[in-house]
Amino acid sequence: MQERRRFQRIEFDAQSEVRTPECSWPIKLIDISLKGILAEIEITPLLEPGDRADIVIHLANNIVITMPAVLKHQEADHLGFEAENMDLDSISHLRRLVELNLGDEELLERELDHLIHI
């Protein structure tokens, strides 16, 4: 299968949850990118592909990334979410997290440029 990803996935673990207006579920992050997350969940949420939810990621120093997202796929206990428009604070924190983990500013700039043009 041809690789179609244009965003580097970063293995990352932080206290996280999926939130809907009705409920929230804890998740274990597997990886994160500028375009979404892959997570593991113990409790099957009442979500179907296409449903929207907020992914809330708690970082150090009370920093929170809130990623509005759409569930793209679910395979057993793995959920793949695609990010939607984030607030400025959240995207800034996510950008910094990706930058620190990529260690390559040029690669980060290419990813940001691609994200802007989607």
Mean pLDDT of the chain: 82
Q: Residue 98: what pLDDT?
A: 78
d(CA 74, CA 7): 20
Q: For the chain, which residues make up each domain, given as ranges?
A: 10-117
- pLDDT (tens digit, 9 = 90+) per residue, 91-118? 888 888 877 777 666 655 665 555 555 5
Q: Residue 91: what pLDDT?
A: 87
d(CA 16, CA 65): 9
Q: Residue 54: what pLDDT?
A: 97
Q: State how far the alpha carbon of 42 is from the alpha carbons of 39, 61, 117, in Å.
A: 10, 27, 35
Residue 98 gets the label, from left (phi > 0), alpha (psi -120 to 50) or beta, of alpha
* Interacting residues of 108 by C-beta distance below 8 A, sequence separation 6+: 95, 98, 99, 102
> Domain 10-117 belongs to what topology?
Thrombin, subunit H (2.40.10)
- Closest CA relative to residue 97, chosen from 49, 40, 68, 57: 57
DSSP tag of 62: T
Q: Residue 3: what pLDDT?
A: 40
Q: In the chain, which residues have pLDDT < 70? A: 1-8, 103-118
Q: Residue 19: what pLDDT?
A: 94
